Amino acid sequence: MVKFPASWPEPVVVIVCMVVLAALDFLGALAAAEGLARRSNVLLALGALSFLLLFWFYASSLQYAELAVVTFGWIVLLQISLLLLDRIHYGISLAPGKWIAIVVILAAQAYLVLGHDRSAAEQQPKAAIAASIDREGTIDLTGIIPSQERYTPFEHGKQNARQQDHPEQNAKSTARGGVRT
């Protein structure tokens, strides 16, 4: 896994992750397109290698960045690089309105990366959530889900077992309009 220096601020690490992911994706797409056009297995293999590196770096980047933010930034940067490739290499020009939209998207991306606040769920220590599970499998959801205080995942199974242990009570319940399981 990739390790970034601890001294780097989080927004810098996130932006570096986005740029590297976009570059690897761009190289892989370009190698695949050119490999097919030129019928070159070497270029196709380089494209496949680029996508393997992309996946590895993507997994590494999730240590430092939120999934949605890093993915959004990567895709925006990839789209812009492909638009520039079309403009420079293939001579395709875009209307000014499309370039304005690109600038707006970049501004929104900068806000997401540099101006977002951590959610309350992220600020709560994960150890406190894990410690709320007792030995019987009961999960204390106090403060996490306001509508329920305790939830036992196997309670439904215990209820079915109780109904099987006492079929006469189950039959009475069914006679009164209850549902038999």
Same domain, 93 and 168: no
55-81: per-residue pLDDT in tens? 999 999 988 888 888 888 898 889 889
Residues 128 and 103 in one domain: no
Q: Please tell me whether residues 112 and 74 are part of one structural domain.
A: yes
What's the total number of domains in the chain? Answer: 2
18/75 same-domain check = yes
Tokens of 70: 């890093």
Q: Which residues contact 77 (CB under 8 A, 6 or more apart)?
A: 18, 19, 21, 22
Q: Who has greater pLDDT, 160 or 24? A: 24
Residue pointed to by tokens 């496949």? 48
Residues 38 and 104 in one domain: yes
Domain with 43 in it:
10-116
The answer to whether residues 43 and 84 belong to one domain is yes
Long-range contacts of 105-109 (CB under 8 A, 24+ apart): 105/76, 106/76, 106/80, 109/72, 109/73, 109/76
16/72 same-domain check: yes
Tens digits of residue pLDDT in 100-127: 988 898 788 778 766 656 554 455 444 4
Task: Answer yes or no: pTM beyond 0.75.
Answer: no
Residues 60 and 25 grouped into a single domain? yes
